[in-house]
A and B are shown apart, each in its own frame.
Chain A
Amino acid sequence: MADQKPDEKTFNVVGSRVPRVDAVDKVTGRAKYGADHNIPGQLYGAVKYADYPHAKVVSIDTEKAKILIGVRSVLTHEDIPGEKVFGAIHVHQVVLCFDKVRFLGDVVAIVAAETQEIAEQAIGLIKVEYEPLPIVSDPVEALTADSPLVHKDGNLCIHHVVRKGDIEDGFAKSDMVFEKEYSTQRIEHSYLEPEAILAEPGENGGITIIGSVQNLYNIRRVLAKVLNLPLNRVRLIQATLGGSFGGKDESMSSLCCRAALLALATGRPVKIVNSRENSMRESYKRHPYKMKYKVGINKDGILQAMEITVHADAGAYSAMSPFVTWRSVVQATGPYIVPNVKTDVYAAYTNNCYTSAMRGFGSPQICFATESLMDELAIELNLDPLEIRKRNILKDGSITATGQKLEHKVSVGEALQNVTKRIDFKKTWESNREQNSKALTKKGIGLSCSYRGVSLGAEGTDAAGVGISIQTDGSAVVYCGLVDMGQGSATTISIVVAEELGLTVDKIRFLSADTTSIPDSGPTVASRTSFMAGNAARIGAQELLKRIKPVAAEIIGFPESSLMFKDNQIISIVEHADSKKTLSFADLAAACFRKGVSLFAHGWYKSPSTSWDEHTGQGDAYFTFVYAANLAEVEVDMITGQVKVTKFISSHDIGRTLNLNGAKGQVFGGVAMGLGYALLEEYVEEDCYPTLENFDEYLLPTICDVPEMDVAFIENPDSLGPFGAKSLGEPACELAAPAIVNAIANATGMRVRDLPLTLERVLLGKSLSRKEKRGSLKARSRQ
């Protein structure tokens, strides 16, 4: 771990308002996104999708496509030189289908042609003969004995357990026992930039790919296996990413493989850019969950026991489902002390669009259930939602559901206090409940709180690297193994390097990731970039300081210990010195270069170990946790069911604010995303056929729906974090929906337990049917 600065108040740039380092590029159009990259002579790729959600592939006839003028290559699974399947956990996801198709986003053949139009025309000429198979669309049904099998080893993707205390004894000793069921919907990441890839065959027989990739090293491993190439001949370069939210991993693996296969087959660069329709059809989604909570509680409002059963719809392939659902099992009780816990989380395969990582990673579903549940319990026990939380929340030294003792500052109580301090929560909540039953518009207020494990935890190895190269003019280049996908890590890591080296942020140039320039740093997921890359950046910068400080001391003529690096200058801070000598960082860098001192360093940070017993679900699941609370205020039109979120307050313990603008942006964006989850968004499939294909019918919130927002950061520096920082990206998003849902229940007096809360559901408890369409001529692309 990197050393902490002795005096926290001496920060130069950490915690200040720094403009995004990539802002000018993005607003002027200089930024090059995946689709902006072109190479002369490139071909255009297109894919042939499955015609059925579940069917045996009997034959694939590509002859007519091959002879179309302008077509350069038509490939099927038979043309794959290496492995035909991939997967970080279960190795069964297909690049090109061979035995059968398992969902409508599966691909059976690919084409490269001189133009996009010809490629698409050729796709239409490919004939695939199928033998349709029965489908399964529900994760609970998928685990019954007579369900159709999506994969031959059965439909169970994973089963996680947590066992703590004695559940039967816990219920026996409870004054009251309640059972509630909640469900959440499948949602799309909705990154602004659809997937885009440009694959170029290399001089070395390898392949270079530039495009919209979030997790370069995962994708490179897949490519190497599928193409049968050594890792050192597969190079991935990240183009500027137009959003990802966890969404550009497995779907990019298959897209990269398809472009690379076509490029190697033709010897020419191949570009594939997904339309929004293809992106929606093919890319994985957030898991829908069905959650049953049985809870034992005493009259004094103290939780005694929780028995939790969760069924997650993994869709057609495993992808990250085992890890996503593992976070759910760890955090399933919410941020509460529960002495007796029995949790079972199942993920099951279906013929729906597959599901994998999305901002929150198994927590938004759980937060919706636990936070709805706490409000329901409050009403049953005649308490208010704040009070019941206060009586049960984790505190310093508490033991979590997985038996982990929390050795750091536990601040969920402080977060709750922050979001409620400007109002009398209890009074407001109670008076909202007593509103005139005939009022046309009613007000509501809702709370939510959470705890969340930082980084990957017991999912696997957790390490990352950052390279720093000081230039002879005093500027520096930063190479980072974790990517900026819009979340702002380019700015945050630049701030960390600038702080350590005494530079201003404008002196730092943060490069997009490239698998040949920095070692495998794992995936950019789990809100781990500030923490992991931040620590690695500090280590690298401190290594450089060790080398350049002696040179500075020699030039200035004062001992190293008296030197301060600040604002691109080195000054001596010896009091009563005859004269204060200064040296510019640029002159120091040039002097080091002349002396042959290396100005490049690589910082590598490995997280502390975690532990997990998969049979009992006990262990130190994560090395540290973050805590948060949200408060939503709403107005509900009692006649139409229209909900207006009028105000939103968040509080997050992030250890230390590194990048203030970035941190606020994460919270505001996270709340907007959570609002969409609560009220609007749903990727609907009926009998495994999606009923929508673009943003005309998949409705996201617009800026007009986003309320006034406020955030209070809590800074309890973590002993492990860079300058004490922890994480924020996912916590900012996971809690918003339940706060809004609780506020609606407070207003209407009715509890909706299924997301999203559309007007119809708020008013009638009825979900939208997607069976008929009127007033739209849009073709249903089922063929």
Chain B
Amino acid sequence: MMTTIETIIPVSLKEALKIKAGKNIVAIAGGTDILVKLHDRGDNLWPRLLVLDQLKSLHKITSGKKDLTIGPLTTFSEIEQSAVLNKYASPLVEAASLAGSVQIRNRATIGGNVANGSPAGDTIAPLYALGATLELTSSKAKRTVAIEDFFKGPGLTILKPTELITAIKIPRSNNRGFFLRLAARKALAISKISVAASLIIKRGVIVDVRIALGAVAPTVIRASKTEKYLLGKKLSPDIIEQAALIARDEARPIDDIRSVAIYRKEMVAVLLKRGLNSIRESQTNG
């Protein structure tokens, strides 16, 4: 379907928020989701597009004492290549590097991936694991929400029509983590299932842990029971095995076009086990 659509290209955040305060406009960053929806559903979907390209203030990664701030317009490729994120947010870097193709990663942004709200959105599970918060701004107010409070269902979020995601913050910590996923082919594939985790281990003991499961529920979910089980324990083969079984039962997957529920449940256990084992092995070796 050919589409003609009115677009507005603000040059400052203030201007963008002012326009967003009006009605019937949807923000577009890299466009890798929006343009596909427009192609599928035609120009009746949204009357106008707010093109965010020029908002340089939203397009950078800054490193503070307590937090890392990722501008929502940061592309997957930039995440892949960021030294500070490689150091402090390895699950996110891994997820960004596996998504789509080079061309898509050059366009797709982390803010767009979050706002799109797919349970299979590849950067979302790592953001859960890293304890990210989102800064949501309108022309009148600013609020901060935890990433896991942001999603209501597939494609549904709490973002108001007047708001933009203006920052994604990750607490700075000496975490160890991973992102693992399964897909039908190596590149250009949407995850059948993904698992991200971030752990802080002191003297062999897990003092903090967050585990997120992607594509196994209406939104990305935390594996809270598994986290609770792991907290205060040392990673051993038995503990890992048990954690994997708990996580499997926390997943609530369905049969759909990309996989079947029974397979997804099993794979939650498999991926978590593989991820935790790799951490355990690196501890032993390091």
Contacts and interface: CB of A to CB of B under 8 A. Distances in A.
Interface of A: 116-117, 120, 275, 639-642, 680, 691-692, 696-697, 699, 701-702, 704-705, 758-760, 763-764, 766, 768-779
B185 interface: yes
Contact of B215 (A641, A699, A768, A775): A775
Contacts of A763: 263, 266
Contacts of B41: 778-779
A781 to B, nearest CB: 8
Contact of A766 (B190, B263, B267): B263
A712 to B, nearest CB: 27
B142 interface: no
B256 A773 contact: yes
Interface string B258-283: 11101100110010000000000000
B37 A640 contact: no
A760 B260 contact: yes
Given A768-B258, A775-B119, A702 B185 contact: yes
B154 A775 contact: yes
A764 B266 CA distance: 11
A758 B184 contact: yes
Contacts of B192: 759
A759 B185 CA distance: 10
Contacts of A640: 182, 267, 270
B141 interface: no
9 contacts: A116-B2, A640-B182, A702-B186, A704-B187, A759-B263, A760-B259, A769-B256, A774-B218, A777-B155
Contacts of B40: 778-779
Given A639-B270, A640-B267, A776-B118, A699 B260 contact: no
Contacts, number: 92
A779 B36 CA distance: 12
A468 B155 CA distance: 61
A642 B258 CA distance: 14
Interface residues of B, number: 36
B270 A702 contact: no
A702 B192 CA distance: 17
B255 interface: yes
Nearest to B256: A772
B182 A759 contact: yes
The main secondary structure of chain A at its interface with chain B is loop
B255 A772 contact: yes
Contacts of A116: 2
B254 A699 contact: no
B129 interface: no
B66 to A, nearest CB: 33
B158 interface: no
A600 to B, nearest CB: 45
B189 interface: yes
Given A772-B254, A772-B255, A705 B185 contact: yes
B185 A701 contact: yes
Given A117-B2, A764-B263, A771 B255 contact: yes
B119 A768 contact: no
A775 to B, nearest CB: 4
Contact of B186 (A692, A704, A778): A704
A685 to B, nearest CB: 13
Contacts of A764: 260, 262-263
Given A759-B192, A775-B215, 8 more contacts: A705-B185, A705-B186, A759-B182, A759-B259, A770-B256, A771-B256, A772-B254, A775-B256
What are the 4 tightest A-B residue pairs by CB atom distance, in nearest-first order? Answer: A769-B255, A704-B186, A775-B118, A704-B187
Interface centre among B155, B182, B255, B270 (most CB of A within 10 A): B255
A774 B263 contact: no
B41 to A, nearest CB: 5
A697 B260 CA distance: 15
B127 interface: no
Given A704-B187, A769-B260, A772-B256, A696 B118 contact: no
A697 to B, nearest CB: 6
B185 A680 contact: yes
